[in-house]
Amino acid sequence: MRLSLTLVDGRNDRAIDALVDGDLAAPVADLLPALTSLLGEPMHPEFAARVPVWVDGRRVDSATPAGEAGVRTGAVLALHEGTDRIVRAVPSGVAELRVVSGPGAGRVHRVPLGSSVVGNGGPDWSLPDLRLPPDALTLDVTPDGTVTVTPAEGLTTELEDEEISEATEWPLGAYLFVGDTVLARTALGESLAEVTAKPAEAVVDYNRPPRIAPPP
C-alpha cells in the first residue's frame, strides 16, 4: 500500500513529505530502511531497525505491525527522537464556538476569559470570511462562561432572529449570523465527532454530526 506521510528527523525537527510503499501487516522495522534513506542516512536494515520511532507523537516498538502502530496516510513519523508537532492536549478556554456554516465551516474554537476580537484577519481568532473586517466581533467572557458579543459599528449581525448593534449576551445554543458566516455557541467539551481508526486499511473513519441550519 502506498502511504503519504510526514517524516521528521527528531534530532533537528527537519520534516519532509514522503510517499512510502509498505505492508501494514509487516513490522514498522520493515519501513525504516526506506525512511532513514529519505532523511539522507541510508542504513543496513539491521541498523535501521534499531532507530527509535514515534507515530503521531507516541513511541512505538518497531516490531509492531505498521497498521497497529498507527501508520497511515497523514501520519507523522519521527525518527531518532520524538517531536512536538502532534498536540494531544484538549484546547483550553471557558466557552466554545463553532463555525456551522459559511467559510471555514467545521472549525471549533475555545474562547478564553476576557475580551477577544474576531474577524477576517482578527488578532485573536481569524475567520476566513472576506465580508468581515478584522474587528467584526468582540467577545467578552466571564469566569462563569457567560459570553457577550459586540458587533463592529455598521456591521449587520443577527443573534437568532434579532439584529444586534451593541453588547448582547450570547446564550448557549444560539446562532449568530454575520457576513457569510454562521456561528453557534455550544456546550464546552461536547463531543465533536466520532473517530474510529482502521489499522488494516490505514484510514480513520470520521463521522461528524450534520450541521443543520436553524428553521426559518
User: Cell for 56?
Assistant: 503521531
Domains annotated for the chain, with CATH where assigned, are: 2-79 (3.10.20.90), 95-186 (2.60.200.20)
CA distance 134 to 122: 4
Query: Does 155 have pLDDT greater than 80?
Result: yes
In 3D, which of 73, 74, 49, 71 has the Cα closest to residue 62? Answer: 49
pLDDT (0 to 100) of residue 33: 94
pLDDT (0 to 100) of residue 197: 60
Site of grid cell 535501521: 48
CA distance 106 to 96: 13
pLDDT in tens, 52-103: 999 888 889 999 999 999 898 888 899 987 766 555 555 677 889 999 998 8
